[in-house]
Structure 1
């Protein structure tokens, strides 16, 4: 057997895996058909094919024992659909989480590693005992749907139909594999078109607990008029670019319902303070501030956040982000 006959399939597997890694991770191909062509084999075929090749370096025997090309492909698809989700599950415990980078890198590494193991195991076999992709694959596929007449005592090959019922089972098997591949193709096609995270900003208030940790559960809400307490204003920028912000501290003196749950009216509104900051994309700015009501009446003290400059007459209704503390009896 010539070298290309027993090495070609696994060398091609390694080459394609490397090409897919470059196209998906480095070049970041976004053209849907190209992305599908790169991602689909890497998801539904190659990891399982490399694993099967490492486990079974021998060709099928004359009596039908072992795995031929068709059986290897079927088993490879089934194994790939178990291997890749397992890699994703393990990636969940990595610092990167279930994201494209760790899953793609681990899948390519798995495929290359077991392809090399498969090549090594085949190389250690005598030439006649090395599996190689022959020219009988088409005939093997056609044989799935043809009832074979065998001599007495002859062992049937895997998936070889002995009657029409077996032919129907093979039809169902091929249909199931095609459905799995189509599902993988759909996911590979849909993934690039899924909407990215919408640009947004997060605003929240924090205060120190007894252990000195910042938390949202111990905010000061029992202050009297004129008293202040330290808080931390947190601003997270997910806008996709560096963003400047203006924060306005704004007080409303409110009239509450008897149960204290609803605002029946607003008696006065006052701007207490404002400050500006700039936050890099993906970063969080935490600003210390002393906050408190100016009166003993029922008061809401708001932090209103605006992208860019704040208007001269701010209000909770026109702010980009809002949060508040309620100082009520």
Structure 2
């Protein structure tokens, strides 16, 4: 290769990485569909392509189909390894560290590919012939002596292919609606669905963690009610109106005061949605024991 000109395929790879970074990090743009369109190649293709370009700089090393297939395969291998490495760093596996790591890796591999291609003769170094292909298509369509009907059909065929590709991309990246439901759960003292507090003292507060996750594909207004042996318990006002967007999670400690004394009593957690305020949409329950303050203290020990 002559001069310092960067090969067009490496320029496109680096340009796509920068464009993806902009769409992921810029407020407003990071909510658009283009973020997903650009993010897929950054994860599934570009790192592997840059690595292949660095490992095999010569035209004769691999053909186009092999490079494309290996680019997907190596990307699928490299990205989890980068994530595994981030897991042992203070930054962890989060969006920004992953984005920076993938971008830096791809740029470094593109730089190595450029340096290795520079050492090869121009005729031997690999380069995607974008310009030659474009000129060939132009000559095929515009300069080849064909009838107007043939040219029209050729243009129509190209537009159909482009439309098919665009439709396929849209179908792949557009989320499909699954089952509409709401998660409703209770967590114990260790933040897990286990080891629930079951022993309480009459008149004293008890607390459990309650979670709600909206998978209804629309914003929903929820209300919650607690009942002990079918008798309502007073709750704070914040539980009377829980507004959640789709895929949003609400998880808060819920404090209540048992009003009855007894054993194996049913404490119900009832969740209502905006559709029906009389029939519980989801319900959970715990079996609890409530003792009086005197009984909780146990028998007194007399000193002699």
Q: Which residue of 2 aligns with 1:150?
A: none
Mapped to 1, the partners of 2:80 and 2:16 lie a distance apart of 24
Contact kept? 2:207, 2:254, Cα under 8 Å: yes
Task: Establish whether residue 30 from structure 1 lines up as the match of residue 24 from structure 2.
Answer: no
Summarize the alignment of residues 278-297 of structure 1 with structure 2, pairs less than 5 Å apart: 282-291=249-258, 293-295=260-262
What residue ranges of structure 1 are gaps of 5+ in the alignment? 61-65, 139-181, 208-212, 253-268
In terms of mean alpha carbon deviation, does 9-18 or 125-134 score higher?
125-134
Mapped to 2, the partners of 1:112 and 1:129 lie a distance apart of 24
Q: Aligned-pair distance for 1:81?
A: 2.3
Q: Which residue of 2 aligns with 1:113?
A: 108
Mapped to 2, the partners of 1:105 and 1:197 lie a distance apart of 35
Could you say if the C-alpha distance between residues 117 and 41 of structure 1 is closer, same or farther in structure 2, counting changes exceeding 3 Å? same
SS of residue in 1 equivalent to 2:186: strand
| Residue of structure 1 aligned with 2:76, choices 85, 96, 106 | 85
Aligned residues: 240
Q: Which residue of 2 aligns with 1:326?
A: 287
Q: Which residue of 1 aligns with 2:270?
A: 304
Deviation digits for residues 172-203 of structure 1 (CA, Å, limit 9, x no counterpart): xxxxxxxxxx9xx9688423323489674534
Contact kept? 1:234, 1:284, Cα under 8 Å: yes
Summarize the alignment of residues 70-81 of structure 1 with structure 2, pairs less than 5 Å apart: 71-81=62-72
Q: Which residue of 1 aligns with 2:154?
A: none
Q: Aligned-pair distance for 1:232?
A: 2.3
Contact kept? 2:48, 2:78, Cα under 8 Å: no
Deviation digits for residues 131-153 of structure 1 (CA, Å, limit 9, x no counterpart): 15376987xxxxxxxxxxxxxxx
Task: Establish whether residue 218 from structure 1 lines up as the match of residue 195 from structure 2.
Answer: yes
Could you say if the C-alpha distance between residues 3 and 294 of structure 1 is closer, same or farther in structure 2, counting changes exceeding 3 Å? same
Could you say if the C-alpha distance between residues 303 and 294 of structure 1 is closer, same or farther in structure 2, counting changes exceeding 3 Å? farther
Q: Which residue of 2 aligns with 1:271?
A: 232
SS of residue in 1 equivalent to 2:196: coil
Q: Aligned-pair distance for 1:46?
A: 3.3
Contact kept? 1:251, 1:299, Cα under 8 Å: yes
| Residue of structure 2 aligned with 1:206, choices 179, 184, 188 | 188
Q: Aligned-pair distance for 1:295?
A: 4.4
Deviation digits for residues 77-110 of structure 1 (CA, Å, limit 9, x no counterpart): 232222232245343774776x877666544433
Q: Aligned-pair distance for 1:272?
A: 3.6
